[in-house]
Structure 1
Amino acid sequence: MATVEECREALSKLAARLDANAETRGKLDLDRTLACRVPDLSTAFHARLEGGRLVDITDGDDPKAKIALTAASDDLIALLTGRLDVTKAIASRQVSIKANPFDLLKLRKLL
């Protein structure tokens, strides 16, 4: 099982990667709040997706988030580092994402 700090670091690395790719990929029309829940650690993070970037990553849940991702700590890290394919993770129920179907299609471009 990964630690809270490892999950936080993986989210920060994802944010840096998205930030670096945002200019070359073009602006992605997605401005949503995001909650990332990690039940095996009894913790959560929340952030905001803006134009293909992940900003304002903070500890704690956002029950009103437009996009909610739930995953075990090890699965979250594997997903965020690219070792776990998001489609396969959802199909195998390793990861749960609650979002508008159109937002899901846009999210696939980010991961």
Structure 2
Amino acid sequence: MATMEECRSALDKLSDNLAQADGEARGAAGFDRSLSCHITDLDTTFTGRLNNGRITVLDTSAGPPREKAQIRLAMAGDDLVALVDGELNFARAWGAGRVKLEAGFLDLMRLRSLL
């Protein structure tokens, strides 16, 4: 089971990857939205913002998200680490129910190029 520090490090790595993206992926990541990532096996939520291709984690709290972010992710810590490391395909994990993504329709359309 991934630790809270490993999950935080994975989010930082994801932020770095988004910042280095180019083309269509860069455009998809280059908007301003609130973000939450609930790590289900740790029952911990990271909240922050996706802004100009970077994820900024602003808070970490116990339990599910306290407020509804515009982009909401939920998954086990090991799955987050595996996704960021390229060992787990997002579409397959989402289809299998291992990863949950909730967002408005327009946000989902923009995010699809990242997934």
TM-score range, shorter chain: 0.7 to 0.9
Pair 1:80–1:43, CA change in 2 (3 A) = same
Q: Does 1:7 align with 2:7?
A: yes
**Aligned residue number for residue 16 of structure 2:** 16
Q: What secondary structure, in the 3-state scheme, does the structure 2 residue paired with 1:8 have?
A: helix
TM-score (norm 1): 0.84
TM-score (norm 2): 0.81
Q: For 1:33 and 1:77, how far apart are their aligned partners in 2? A: 21
Residues 1-111 of structure 1 mapped to structure 2, 5 A cutoff: 1-21=1-21, 24-25=22-23, 26-28=26-28, 30-60=31-61, 61-111=65-115
The alignment's C-alpha RMSD in Å is 1.9
Contact 1:34/1:62, CA 8 A, preserved across alignment: no
Q: For 1:62 and 1:20, how far apart are their aligned partners in 2? A: 31
Q: For 1:27 and 1:90, how far apart are their aligned partners in 2? A: 22
Runs of 5+ in structure 1 lacking a partner? none
Q: For 1:94 and 1:20, how far apart are their aligned partners in 2? A: 26
**Structure 1 stretch displaced more, 78-87 or 4-13:** 78-87
Q: What secondary structure, in the 3-state scheme, does the structure 1 residue paired with 2:41 have?
A: helix
- Percent identity, aligned pairs only? 41
Question: 4+ residue stretches of structure 1 with deviation over 3 A?
Answer: 26-29
Q: For 1:57 and 1:81, how far apart are their aligned partners in 2? A: 23
Higher helix share: 1
Contact 1:78/1:84, CA 8 A, preserved across alignment: yes
